[in-house]
Structure 1
Amino acid sequence: MQVDLSYGRGMLPVRLPDDLDVTIVRKPPMPLLPDPVGAVAGALEAPVAARPIVEEARGAASACILVCDITRPAPNGLVLPPLLRALIAAGVEPARIRVLVATGLHRPNVGAELEELIGDPWVLRTVSVENHDARDDAAHVDLGATAAGTPVKIDRRFAGADLKIVTGLVEPHFMAGYSGGRKVMAPGVAHKDTITTFHSARFMAHPRADNCVLDGNPLHREQLEVAGKIGRVLAVNTVIDEQRRLSFVNFGEVVASHRDAVAFVERYAMVPVSRRFRTVVTSAAGYPLDKTYYQTVKGMVAPLEIVEPGGDLIIASECSEGMGSRAYVDAQRRLVGLGPDGFLADIGRKRFADVDEWQTQMQLKATRRARVHLYAPALKPEERALTGVEVVASVEAAVRASVRDSGDRHVAVIPEGPYVVPVHRPGP
């Protein structure tokens, strides 16, 4: 049989032997909004725990809207035009409206990439669109610290705006439970000290810092406390299906509206599976998430609940931009040099994490449960040596070898990668 994995801007066909017992793990069919543009406009007029957008904006002298960076396939081209037109209709001057790309510690998005991210040339012509820079000390305002001691420093362009709005895609996130909402602010437009504190080893190692977990998640708790220090924030939350079509949109107070969006998406993203498998095949969710090996780690962590300990996890990722940041390459180099135990001992002593080393720590969750096999032909030989996993030339060959070695013909395939979180529910 043939299965198609999300890969780059298309699909990777994988031909599996017909004698295998293959379980395809994907979301149940999601409802689609027949008029996405109208749905966004309707959400702005019927908010959650807030007033309609025109009423919220009336009297505001300035507005700052956060959008996720290029690593998220957020439907900005649908959301931003009606949102901006509503603000302008309420009397906010276009020159006083700023769209801020919430890069966290990722690189800025510029040129054609920024055009793709924003999704509508009218937006770029009408308002200022800028990137957040977490390393620019002067660009942040200090709001104190959380009860756990996390310094709260936020981009002053957002913190100082009369009207603060975040937009985002709500989907499973392997540290924070779900993306979107409060996460667009922190780490989105937070200073590096804020980001590297709650991405430090002590937070990452917590068992509740996991996909689809909010209750008891220390990162979620910190993000909510950061949001509270910023003040009143509104949000436009979106959910898309496997073909990136709009399935849900709402608008309202950031915490309440995000909670409603999570309640919607968890019915689809969390997929019960009745058994565990010695062989699991997945993807890094395709473009834009699989542009780097850094983001590929999310695909390794998402299916762990259905992987038999010591089993084989085979993941396909285009990695068109290679490994990721130089800081991440350094973290992977330390992993290879120190070994897993040495690396964990090294990061466990730090108050502030080194940039991007948290992704290496999360990779160890996967490699300590399973043998990870990576199909990423775009990686250079020197990059493959830093992955810390086995690099394979063929997904099909890796599956055949796994089945042969395990003697188990049952194989699970997760075409959409980390956007689907299999949950082990034993049963017939």
Structure 2
Amino acid sequence: MQIELLYGRDGLTLEMPAGADTHLIEKPAFPKAKKPGEQIADAFENPYGSACLADLCKHKSSACILICDITRPVPNHLFLRPMIETMVANGIPLPAISILIATGLHRPNEGAEMAELVGDPWVLDNVRVENHFALVDADHVDLGITEGRGVPIKLDRRFVQADLKIATGLVEPHFMAGFSGGRKVVAPGVAHHETIRTFHSARFMEDPAARECNLAGNPLHEEQLEIVRKLGEVFALNTVIDDKRNLVFCSFGEIIESHLAAVEFVRGYTEIPVGRKFKTVVTSSAGYPLDQTYYQTVKGMVTPLDILEDGGTLIVASHCAEGIGSQHFRAAQERLVALGPDAFLQTLMAKDFADVDEWQTEMQLKPMRVGRIQLFTENLSDDDFRITGVDRVSDLSTAIASSMAQHGDKAVAVIPEGPYVVPKSEPARQA
């Protein structure tokens, strides 16, 4: 049996070993959608909790559009130009419209990468596109702290000071914030490093409610909601795509209400009741662009944990074409390997501000507590692999067969889309 895994740009064919009892875990088919242009036009004209886009533009002198960075496959090429043309047609001067890349604490996207991200030469030729830099203090406005958990509210002034504020993004499961998109594009997307590092401190990360597909009591989600409300009127265009990157849903309107509409739609296609746990689980890191670093690969390790038996084996395929990730993340991984998981976690517990990117290492502790992690990749050097803290496998089929033999169990769960699918061990509810 052959299974196509999302892996890099081109995918990876997995040959299941003889005798494997394969349980393929995939999203159900999305309903047939209108053509992308029609979906986007409908979203602008039929918003959630706000006036339509054309009316929102009237009497506005400037606009700032947030887009996600290169780690998210958002179909920007489909909606940026019609959004901008609607703004201009309704009175906002073209020079007063800007696009801000919501990098959080990721590296900037420039040159050919920016062109790929925006996806439309007309937009690049006509609109100012800039990166957010979380470490530049002067770029941010201090709006105080949240009442809930005392998170500093410092946001990019280019967004704060715009008359019309629109966040755009992809709504999918997120292993800490429940779901991506909407309010998350604002914070941490265009937040100051102190805001981001507070979100990612151990008091948030170790909260059991900070998990994929959960918004109830999720401390990150609740603080994000308070932050966007502090800004007054903020709007969002939320998109959902299938495994071929086709647009299957979009919603526009007030940022919280429109985001929840997209969450409601996508939840039924991403949370998959399986009805059991497995001693061998095979997954991906969702392919390009998400699997370009080991930093992002950790998401693929966390999402399937509900179906991994204690002591089981989790096998992850990730391209890692850009290597480990940032120097900050490398330093955190070095500490994990040197100290061990328990001692590493203890170094985090008393911090108000997490060190940059060490939160991803902290999230790796979760699968390490459950079972053995194995990684298939073709692009990490021996020195880089040493600091992953996981086991290397050179052949997926052989690794699966070895796991089956070790556990004495032929059942193997395979999740081709990785963290875009959230398998649940409970059975499906009866209608």
Pairwise TM-score range, normalised by the shorter structure: over 0.9
Aligned residue number for residue 35 of structure 2:
35
Count of aligned pairs:
428
Letter in 2 for 1:308: E
SS at 1:73's partner residue? coil
Aligned residue number for residue 392 of structure 1:
393
Aligned residue number for residue 198 of structure 1:
199
Aligned residue number for residue 412 of structure 1:
413
Contact 1:102 1:132 in 2 (8 A): yes
Counterparts of 2:377 and 2:92, CA distance in 1 = 47
Letter in 2 for 1:339: G
Aligned residue number for residue 373 of structure 1:
374
Aligned residue number for residue 346 of structure 1:
347
1:48-75 residue CA offsets vs partner (Å, 9 max, x unmatched): 1110111001010000000000000000
Contact 2:65 2:167 in 1 (8 A): yes
1:58 aligns with 2:58: yes
Q: TM-score, normalised by structure 2?
A: 0.98
Letter in 1 for 2:404: V
Aligned residue number for residue 213 of structure 2:
212
Return the offset for 1:18: 3.5
Return the offset for 1:261: 0.4
Aligned residue number for residue 131 of structure 1:
131
Counterparts of 2:31 and 2:154, CA distance in 1 = 39
Within a 5 Å distance, the mapping from 1:4-403 to structure 2 comes to: 4-147=4-147, 148-403=149-404
Contact 1:64 1:161 in 2 (8 A): yes
Return the offset for 1:39: 1.1
Return the offset for 1:24: 0.3
Contact 1:32 1:245 in 2 (8 A): no
1:280-326 residue CA offsets vs partner (Å, 9 max, x unmatched): 00000000000000000000001000000110000000000000000
Contact 2:17 2:398 in 1 (8 A): no
Letter in 1 for 2:72: R
Q: Which stretches in structure 2 are left out of the alignment for 5+ residues?
A: none
Aligned residue number for residue 3 of structure 1:
3
Return the offset for 1:426: 4.1
Counterparts of 1:247 and 1:172, CA distance in 2 = 16
Following TM superposition, the consecutive aligned residue runs of length 4 or more in structure 1 with deviations greater than 6 angstroms are none
Contact 1:32 1:246 in 2 (8 A): no
Counterparts of 1:244 and 1:10, CA distance in 2 = 13
Counterparts of 1:143 and 1:32, CA distance in 2 = 43
Counterparts of 2:383 and 2:31, CA distance in 1 = 44
1:101-148 residue CA offsets vs partner (Å, 9 max, x unmatched): 000000000011000000100001111000000000000000000021
1:233-268 residue CA offsets vs partner (Å, 9 max, x unmatched): 010000001111111011100000000100000010
Contact 2:141 2:160 in 1 (8 A): yes
Contact 1:8 1:291 in 2 (8 A): yes
> Percent identity over the alignment?
56
Counterparts of 1:312 and 1:8, CA distance in 2 = 23
1:175-224 residue CA offsets vs partner (Å, 9 max, x unmatched): 00000000000000000000000110110000000000001100001100
Letter in 2 for 1:12: L
Counterparts of 1:234 and 1:48, CA distance in 2 = 10
Q: CA RMSD in A?
A: 1.0
Letter in 2 for 1:161: A
Return the offset for 1:33: 2.2
Contact 1:186 1:223 in 2 (8 A): yes
Counterparts of 2:120 and 2:263, CA distance in 1 = 27
SS at 1:315's partner residue? strand
